[in-house]
C-alpha cells in the first residue's frame, strides 16, 4: 500500500508544527462522560513541544506498552500485543514496533509528572521525506493506510542502540561470527558475566534484537538510549546468493566459493549477522538447499489487502481524523474501507470507534475518531443495518438535540450518553427502515431521571409513522440508560428519515402542523420499569 504524496505529507506536518506553537489551551477540569478528555483532571494546559535531543528521531515500543489517544492516563488507550520471541532467543528483549517522534508534552499534573511526561508519536515513519531511510524498527503490517498521532509515557520506551555498531557476538560453539547493525537495535538488560568472556572496556554483554536477528553481544554503554536516527546504518557488502526469507522478514544468504568453508548470512534493513560454516554435514545441507531454491521458480506470495471486517463505508485518502473535541488525531493515507455503522455524532462530524492495527488492542472503551460526513462513501453491497444506498448517512437517524426542562445538564454532558446508545436505539427502528416505502417519523422521549442518574419514567410520543412495538422498544431502551448525576427532566427527539418540522405526522402532507411535544411526565412513586421487547423481523407486528 503506498503513502500519500510529499506535498500532502507537508500539509499534515505543517499542521503539527502549528500545533506546537498554538496548541496551548484551557481544558475542562472534569472530563465529559464517554468523551476522550484532553488532559487528566487538574491539568490546565496542553502544549506539544519540540523533543529534546535524546528523544529525537524514532523510538521503539516493546510488547505490553500502552499508547494513549491524548496525553492523559484517563484517555482511551491501546496495548501493544506482539508474539513472544522464540525460545532460542533466551533473554532477548521483547518484540517491538517503531514510531516517529513528533514532540513531547509536559504538564503540571502530578499524575503525569513535569519531567517524565508523554511523547507524541506517529506510526508513519516516512514523514514528509521524499525518500526516507528504512533503517531499524519493525513497522505495523496493517496500518500503512492510517497516520495517527498518539501519546506514550516516556518510561514505556524501549532501550535501543543510538549509533551503528560492529560487533563480535558470543558463540557457545566457538564459531567465527560477526555482526553489523544500525542505530535502533533493541537491547536487553546487562547480562551476568559468569561464563562469558570479559567484554571490552565500557561495554556490557546484552541480548539484542535487530528486527529478528537475536544474539548476545558486547554493547558499548554509551551507545544505549531510547531514540535513534534511521539514517545511521552500516554499508553492507555483497552477501552472495539469497536462499529464503524467514517469518520475521530477514533474508538468509549463502556465500559459497566452493571451498571447505562457506559463509551463512542473515540480513534485513537493520543489519546483518555473518557466520563461517566449516562443518561438512552442515555445508552439504546448505548447498542442497541452495540448489532447491535455484530450481524453484514459483512466484512470491501476493500481499493481502487490509480490509476491516464488516466495512460499510469508504473513507477516502487524505481525510483528516479528529477526536470528538476537534483536535487532530491523524490522517487517512489511502482509501480505507472502515466499519462506521449508524450514527454517533459530535458537532458537525460523524464519529466511530477507531480500529487501528490488529497488534494494538483497545483497553476499556475504544477511542472515537471523527470525520466530516461528506468524507464517507457508502460501500455498494455492504451488509449491515443502516448502510443501504437509499438511506442517507447514518441511516438518517438523528438522536437529539436534548431539551432540558428541569436540571443542570447541558448538551456537552448529554451528547456522550446519546452517542453511546445510538446503535442500540436505532435497532428499535429496524422494522420501519426495512419497509418498502421511504419512512419519515419522529418520536419524543420524555424522561424523568433520579439524582443518581437512573431513569425513573419514560413516555414516548410519536409524531409521525410509528408502530406499537417500535415505541415499546424505545421505551425499554431509554429505561436502560444511565444519565449524568443530578436528576431532572429532559425531552429527547428521535428522528428517522428526511423529517420536515412543517410536515407534521405525515411527511407527504406539507400542510399539517407538527404536534406539540409532550408535557414532562409526572413521577409516580412506584412504577414498573421498562420491559425488554425482542423484535423479530420475520414476525408481523401486532398493530398490522
Of 8-17, 121-130, 354-363, the least confident: 8-17
Does the structure show a pLDDT above 70 at 250? yes
> What confidence score (pLDDT) does residue 146 get?
92
Q: Can you tell me whether residue 11 is helix, strand or coil?
A: helix
- Residue range 68-97: mean pLDDT, rounded: 85
The CA–CA distances, whole Å, from 423 to 284, 397, 418, 419 equal: 64, 10, 10, 8
> What confidence score (pLDDT) does residue 115 get?
46
Angle at 61 between CA 57 and CA 64, to 5 degrees: 170
d(CA 230, CA 121): 15
- Residue range 345-360: mean pLDDT, rounded: 84
Confidence at 518, pLDDT banded by 50, 70, 90: low
Q: Which residues contact 474 (CB under 8 A, 6 or more apart)?
A: 425, 428, 443, 445, 460, 494
Residue with cell 446503535: 423
Confidence at 301, pLDDT banded by 50, 70, 90: low
Does the structure show a pLDDT above 50 at 396? yes
Confidence at 104, pLDDT banded by 50, 70, 90: very high
Most confidently modeled of 287-296, 472-481, 532-541? 472-481
Most confidently modeled of 201-205, 221-225, 260-264? 221-225
Helices (H), 103-207: none
Most confidently modeled of 87-101, 112-126, 241-255? 87-101
Confidence at 319, pLDDT banded by 50, 70, 90: very high
| pLDDT cut 90: percent of the chain above it | 18
What the block records as the C-alpha cell of 273 is: 549477522
Of 222-236, 342-356, 378-392, 487-501, the least confident: 378-392
> What confidence score (pLDDT) does residue 66 get?
93
505-514: list long-range contacts, CB under 8 Å, 24+ apart.
505/462, 505/463, 505/464, 505/465, 506/464, 506/465, 507/440, 507/464, 514/463
* DSSP code at position 318: T
Q: Which residues contact 35 (CB under 8 A, 6 or more apart)?
A: 324, 325, 346, 368, 415, 416
Confidence at 86, pLDDT banded by 50, 70, 90: confident
Angle at 476 between CA 471 and CA 478, to 5 degrees: 95
The number of beta carbons lying within 10 Å of the beta carbon of residue 476 is 18
> What confidence score (pLDDT) does residue 321 get?
93
Confidence at 135, pLDDT banded by 50, 70, 90: confident
Residues paired with residue 374 on neighbouring β-strands, in sequence order: none
> What confidence score (pLDDT) does residue 526 get?
44
- Residue range 465-491: mean pLDDT, rounded: 86
Residues paired with residue 121 on neighbouring β-strands, in sequence order: 101, 150
> Which one is predicted more confidently, 261 or 468?
468
Confidence at 220, pLDDT banded by 50, 70, 90: very high
Residue with cell 431539551: 403
The CA–CA distances, whole Å, from 301 to 245, 304, 472 equal: 12, 9, 54
d(CA 504, CA 501): 6
Does the structure show a pLDDT above 60 at 12? no
Confidence at 236, pLDDT banded by 50, 70, 90: confident
State the DSSP H helix or E strand holding residue 492, giving kind and residue range, or none if neither. Answer: strand 488-496
End-to-end CA separation in angstroms for the chain: 52
> What confidence score (pLDDT) does residue 531 get?
41
Q: Rounded to the nearest 5°, which phi and psi values hold at 496? A: -120, 125
Q: Which residues contact 369 (CB under 8 A, 6 or more apart)?
A: 321, 322, 323, 329, 330, 351, 352, 353, 354
Instruction: Provide the Cα torsion 408, 410, 415, 421; round to 10°.
Output: 30
Provide the mean pLDDT of the chain.
74
What the block records as the C-alpha cell of 461 is: 410520543
Of 12, 268, 275, 302, which is closest to residue 128 (Cα–Cα)? 12
Contact yes or no for 409/465 (Cβ under 8 A): no
d(CA 399, CA 499): 13
What the block records as the C-alpha cell of 60 is: 521503539
What the block records as the C-alpha cell of 298 is: 514459483
Does the structure show a pLDDT above 50 at 543? no
Burial (CB < 10 A; 0-12, 13-18, 19+), residue 544, is exposed
Does the structure show a pLDDT above 80 at 470? yes
- Residue range 45-57: mean pLDDT, rounded: 84
d(CA 57, CA 76): 25
Sheet arrangement for strand 165-167 = 165-167, 177-181, 271-277, 262-267, 251-255, 241-245
d(CA 289, CA 304): 28
Of 68-77, 171-180, 517-526, the least confident: 517-526
> Which one is predicted more confidently, 174 or 461?
461
State the DSSP H helix or E strand holding residue 430, giving kind and residue range, or none if neither. Answer: helix 430-433
Confidence at 399, pLDDT banded by 50, 70, 90: confident
> What confidence score (pLDDT) does residue 391 get?
34
> Which one is predicted more confidently, 353 or 381?
353
State the DSSP H helix or E strand holding residue 254, giving kind and residue range, or none if neither. Answer: strand 251-255
> What confidence score (pLDDT) does residue 296 get?
61
Confidence at 88, pLDDT banded by 50, 70, 90: low
> What confidence score (pLDDT) does residue 308 get?
63
Q: What is the DSSP string of 323-348?
A: -TTS-EEEEE-S-EEE---S-EEETT
d(CA 267, CA 251): 5
Q: Rounded to the nearest 5°, which phi and psi values hold at 242? A: -75, 140
| pLDDT cut 70: percent of the chain above it | 71
Of 64-78, 185-199, 285-299, the least confident: 285-299
Of 130-139, 143-152, 182-191, 383-392, the least confident: 383-392
> Which one is predicted more confidently, 258 or 210?
210
Confidence at 438, pLDDT banded by 50, 70, 90: low
> What confidence score (pLDDT) does residue 401 get?
81
What the block records as the C-alpha cell of 265 is: 548470512
> Which one is predicted more confidently, 171 or 230?
230
> What confidence score (pLDDT) does residue 536 get?
41
> What confidence score (pLDDT) does residue 520 get?
53
Confidence at 381, pLDDT banded by 50, 70, 90: low
Of 46-50, 69-73, 236-240, the least confident: 236-240
> What confidence score (pLDDT) does residue 350 get?
83
Sign of the four-CA dihedral 187, 193, 195, 201: positive
d(CA 483, CA 531): 18
Amino acid at each position: 500500500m503506498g503513502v500519500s504524496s510529499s506535498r500532502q505529507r507537508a500539509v499534515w506536518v505543517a499542521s503539527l508544527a502549528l500545533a506546537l506553537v498554538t496548541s496551548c489551551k484551557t481544558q475542562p477540569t472534569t472530563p465529559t462522560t464517554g468523551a476522550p478528555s484532553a488532559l487528566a483532571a487538574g491539568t490546565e494546559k496542553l502544549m506539544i513541544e519540540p523533543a529534546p535531543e535524546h528523544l529525537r528521531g524514532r523510538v521503539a515500543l516493546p510488547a505490553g506498552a500502552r499508547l494513549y489517544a491524548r496525553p492523559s492516563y484517563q484517555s482511551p488507550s491501546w496495548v501493544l500485543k506482539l508474539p513472544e520471541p522464540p525460545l532460542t532467543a533466551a533473554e532477548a528483549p521483547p518484540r517491538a514496533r517503531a514510531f516517529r517522534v513528533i514532540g513531547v508534552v509536559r504538564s503540571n499534573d502530578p499524575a503525569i509528572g513535569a519531567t517524565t511526561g508523554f511523547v507524541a508519536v506517529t506510526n508513519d515513519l516516512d514523514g514528509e521525506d521524499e525518500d526516507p531511510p528504512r533503517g531499524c524498527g519493525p513497522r505495523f503490517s496493517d496500518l500503512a493506510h492510517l497516520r495517527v498521532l498518539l501519546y506514550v509515557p516516556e518510561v514505556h520506551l524501549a532501550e535501543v542502540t543510538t549509533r551503528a555498531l560492529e560487533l563480535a557476538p558470543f558463540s557457545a560453539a566457538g564459531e567465527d561470527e560477526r555482526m553489523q547493525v544500525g542505530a535502533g537495535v533493541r537491547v536487553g538488560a546487562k547480562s551476568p558475566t559468569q561464563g562469558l568472556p570479559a567484554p571490552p572496556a565500557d561495554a556490557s554483554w546484552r541480548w539484542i534484537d535487530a528486527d529478528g536477528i537475536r544474539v548476545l553481544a558486547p554493547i558499548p554503554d554509551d551507545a544505549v538510549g531510547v531514540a535513534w536516527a534511521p539514517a545511521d546504518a552500516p554499508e553492507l557488502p555483497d552477501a552472495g546468493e539469497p536462499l529464503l526469507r524467514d517469518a520475521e522478514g530477514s533474508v538468509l544468504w549463502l556465500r559459497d566459493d566452493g571451498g571447505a568453508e562457506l559463509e551463512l548470512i542473515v540480513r534485513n534493513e537493520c543489519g546483518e549477522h555473518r557466520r563461517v560454516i566449516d562443518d561438512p554435514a552442515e555445508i552439504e545441507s546448505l548447498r542442497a538447499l541452495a540448489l532447491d531454491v535455484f530450481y524453484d521458480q514459483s512466484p512470491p506470495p501476493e500481499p493481502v489487502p487490509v480490509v476491516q471486517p464488516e466495512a460499510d463505508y469508504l473513507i477516502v485518502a487524505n481525510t483528516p481524523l479528529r477526536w470528538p473535541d476537534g483536535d487532530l488525531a491523524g490522517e487517512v493515507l489511502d482509501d480505507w474501507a472502515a466499519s462506521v455503522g449508524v450514527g454517533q455524532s459530535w458537532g458537525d462530524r460523524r464519529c466511530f470507534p477507531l480500529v487501528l492495527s490488529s497488534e494494538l488492542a483497545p483497553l476499556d472503551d475504544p477511542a472515537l475518531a471523527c470525520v466530516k460526513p461528506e468524507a464517507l462513501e457508502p460501500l455498494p453491497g455492504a451488509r449491515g443495518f443502516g448502510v443501504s444506498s437509499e438511506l442517507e448517512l447514518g441511516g438518517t437517524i438523528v438522536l437529539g438535540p436534548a431539551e432540558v426542562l428541569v436540571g443542570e445538564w447541558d448538551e456537552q454532558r448529554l451528547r456522550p450518553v446519546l452517542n453511546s446508545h445510538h446503535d442500540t436505539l436505532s435497532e428499535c427502528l429496524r422494522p420501519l427502515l426495512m419497509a418498502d416505502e421511504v419512512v419519515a417519523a419522529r418520536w419524543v422521549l420524555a424522561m424523568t431521571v433520579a439524582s443518581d442518574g437512573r431513569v425513573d419514567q419514560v413516555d414516548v410520543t410519536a409524531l409521525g409513522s410509528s408502530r406499537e412495538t417500535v415505541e415499546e422498544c424505545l421505551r425499554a431502551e431509554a429505561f436502560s440508560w444511565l444519565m449524568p448525576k443530578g436528576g431532572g427532566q429532559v425531552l429527547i427527539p428521535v428522528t428517522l428519515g428526511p423529517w420536515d418540522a412543517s410536515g407534521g405526522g405525515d411527511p407527504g402532507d406539507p400542510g399539517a402542523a407538527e404536534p406539540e411535544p409532550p408535557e414532562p411526565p409526572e413521577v409516580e412513586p412506584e412504577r414498573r420499569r421498562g420491559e425488554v421487547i425482542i423484535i423479530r423481523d420475520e414476525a408481523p407486528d401486532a398493530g398490522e
